[in-house]
Amino acid sequence: MAECIDALLSRKSIATHPAFAAETRAVQLKRTIQSLACAAEVPVCISRAVNAPLYFLTRYYARVGDTAGLEWCAQFKGDILKRAPWLRWDVLLPWGLLTVHDVPMYGG
């Protein structure tokens, strides 16, 4: 047990663990984007749900020089914009970053 805790606390072990690799996270984010799009269904809702994750995935692919990843992101965004050409994609990012600021308290 102590060895496991020591390994978790060691920065080096976290950085080299495959589950924490940037590539693994990018694949997971791509799957999440696809799942969000399926769940949202309506173009404006899809746009709001995937705008921020797609933005960060695109930045990652650009940083590592992954042209196939960049093409996937552009195609995904393009498919949404074909369904709703009136969307202003550049304005959507702040809406994708909103958080819940006020949660009503129940029971007084």
Question: What number of residues does the chain have?
Answer: 108
Residue 67 maps to a domain: yes
Low-confidence ranges of the chain (pLDDT < 50): 1-6, 8-9, 13, 100-103, 106-108
> Structural domain of residue 40, as residue ranges?
21-87
Residue 80 maps to a domain: yes
Task: Give the pLDDT of residue 41.
Answer: 84
Residue 44 maps to a domain: yes
Task: Give the pLDDT of residue 17.
Answer: 61
Task: Give the pLDDT of residue 32.
Answer: 93
Task: Give the pLDDT of residue 5.
Answer: 44
C-alpha distances in angstroms, 40 versus 26, 34, 73, 92?
Answer: 21, 10, 18, 15
Task: Give the pLDDT of residue 19.
Answer: 53
CA distance 84 to 36: 17
Q: Which residues, 6+ apart, have CB-to-CB distance to 86 below 8 Å?
A: none
Single-letter residue type at 22: A
Single-letter residue type at 74: A
Task: Give the pLDDT of residue 1.
Answer: 42
